[in-house]
Amino acid sequence: MPSTDSKLPISSKPLGVTVSVSVASRYSVNCAMSQAVRAVKNASVRIPPPAHPTYDIKRVIKEALLEDAGDKGDVTSIATIPPDVQAEAQFLAKDSGVIAGIEMANMIFEEVDPSLKMDWSVEDGDVLSKGLQFGSVFGSARSILTAERVVLNFMQRMSGVATLTKAMAEAAKPARILETRKTVPGLRLIDKWAVLIGGGDNHRLGLFDMVLVKDNHIAVAGGVAKAVAAVAQHLQKNNLDIGVEIETRTLDEVKEVLAHKGEGLGRVTRIMLDNMVVPLPNGDVDVSMLKQAVELVDGQLETEASGNVTLVTVNKIGATGVTFISSGALTHSVKALDISLNVDTELALSVGRRTKSA
């Protein structure tokens, strides 16, 4: 990777755009949807990231590379590998799961060195079997090794999120699985992109795109009715046409929301049924309260179950008739999928067999 004082062309194969910027520069926050997100969404990408008004995927990639390369670059590769040496490295799945991060890898490699060539046998969202070689990158050996860890860090985390999401989404049917805002700071859009790749749905991206009145808001506002009325007044005054969700913890609160749900702009569109799934000593859960709440709502609003959601309980929760089930664990407790990138593929496979990781 050239020194951080140089100007690097930024080019990503799926994006088809080229811009010259200083690697050490910081991007200003764009008030419109970021160029990087727009470009990815407009390209022929199997599962594009969610749209966010200020998030810039390229900036996140550049910060990750700068964090790793510092002010001197990859001193090990510079010291041990002549600049003209070419290499090919293979991606190896060391565990089974859903692959996510192919498009991120493309953008990272091409940020480091636009001459690198990537070849994939899978797409984001495909299921990998342990031991599968599923992609390769060819070009400057220095560039490949400079990008390696950043590529794998994103890909392994995204694949872990996508793998858990797929399992939860399948078990939750007919309900739809959502993540929450419990994401790694700075990686919100990346985490939520991985959820989409895994077959889940996105909850609100942040504080700006949906009203979610929770217990603390209700306490400060003076009760459910006052909170709902204040939301409707604010949205109508500012002509904001966004969803409104109210958190409830009891059946009486559910009834109160239904009595004040409103009409037109600012109306309540979804009700959160929080902690109405009760754990039992035998490891099972009692969903009777949740089922009663769903019956009270009777299709008037979308419903969202939250609390005590696991792979073991999600099927029973989904069978109550709720519209959505939200789980913070999709992003805050994810186990990364084990993936490696190896120049000497035969050696990597033999080591993998010896350690039972491939």
Please state the separation of Cα 75 from the chain's center in Å.
32
Q: Which of 182, 204, 267, 316 is catalytic?
A: 182
Active site residue 149: yes
Active site residue 59: no
Calpha distance 304→307 (Å, rounded): 10
Closest by Cα among 202, 203, 197, 201 to 97: 197
Residue ranges of alpha helices (H) inside the chain are 35-42, 57-69, 75-80, 102-112, 141-172, 188-197, 215-221, 224-238, 251-259, 288-297, 314-318, 329-332, 345-355
Active site residue 274: yes
Which residues are bridge partners to 119 per DSSP? 136
Q: Which of 13, 130, 149, 316 is catalytic?
A: 149
What count of other Cβ atoms lies within 10 Å of the Cβ of residue 137?
25
Active site residue 214: yes
Active site residue 26: no
Q: Which of 247, 253, 256, 338 is catalytic?
A: 247
In three-state secondary structure terms, 137 is: strand
Please state the separation of Cα 293 from the chain's center in Å.
30
Q: Which of 111, 124, 245, 274 is catalytic?
A: 274
Q: Which of 214, 226, 335, 353 is catalytic?
A: 214
- Tokens read off for 38: 């727009």
Question: Active-site residues: which are they?
Answer: 149, 182, 214, 247, 274
